[in-house]
Amino acid sequence: MSGSVIIRPWREDDSLSEITRLLHESYAELAALGLRFLATHQDDSTTLRRLREGHAFVAVDRGRVVGTITLYAAQPDSPCVWYRQSGVYQFGQFAVHPERQREGIGHRLLQRIEDEARALGAIELSLDTAETAEHLCRWYARLGFRFIQHVSWDVTNYRSMVFSKSLSAHSSRSTTS
């Protein structure tokens, strides 16, 4: 039940191996489909680098990390043209433990970074995922994200779809629907 789950900023004293293991377990089903998301195989040093590069949050239940997400500001050197634009924030390293999915934890993590992005002045919140992960593409579309472009990354073995959603005042709180 997500009622006991606390969403808070990631701290340096949070267990890095626990977060890396969470990512591996959460992405295992995608890995079994042959999709090589970075989160399927990254090591602790990669997890730490990704956490530190952005505004990272964790979902904690009774001292155990059951979810994570990281928000990143515009990246002027990104291979993705959309991510280079000022005001376009993106999120990644998004995972909820498989046993805790469908409890609303993912929605709460998304809402937290959406609020954070707005506070930081973002005008768009974006993400990318494998185009063949159709269930994820449909889920993000239901949450108000629209398709922007395709992109290929050096660290994956698939073509990604970039999705984005406006963070204007009229779209406030829309990830809770």
Confidence grade of residue 36 (pLDDT, cut at 50, 70, 90): confident
Per cent of the chain over pLDDT 70 is 93
Residues 6+ apart with CB under 8 A from 61: 4, 5, 6, 100
pLDDT of residue 175: 47
Mean pLDDT of 68-84: 92
Strands of 6-9's sheet, edge to edge? 6-9, 55-61, 64-72, 88-96, 124-130, 159-166, 146-152
Question: So what's the pLDDT on residue 172?
Answer: 45
Domain boundaries, the chain: 2-125
Expressed in percent and rounded to 5, the helix, strand and coil fractions of the chain are 40, 30, 30
Beta-carbon contacts of 63 under 8 Å, excluding residues fewer than 6 positions away, are none
Which one is the CATH code of 2-125: 3.40.640.10, 3.40.50.460, 3.20.20.410, 3.40.630.30? 3.40.630.30
Give the span between the Cα atoms of 65 and 5, in whole angstroms. Answer: 9
Cβ neighbours, 10 Å, residue 64:
14
Distance CA 36, CA 104 (A): 26
DSSP state for residue 105 in the 8-state scheme: H
User: How far is residue 97 from each of residues 28, 57, 100, 129, measured CA to CA in Å?
Assistant: 11, 14, 5, 18
What backbone torsions phi and psi does residue 169 show, to the nearest 5 degrees?
-55, -40
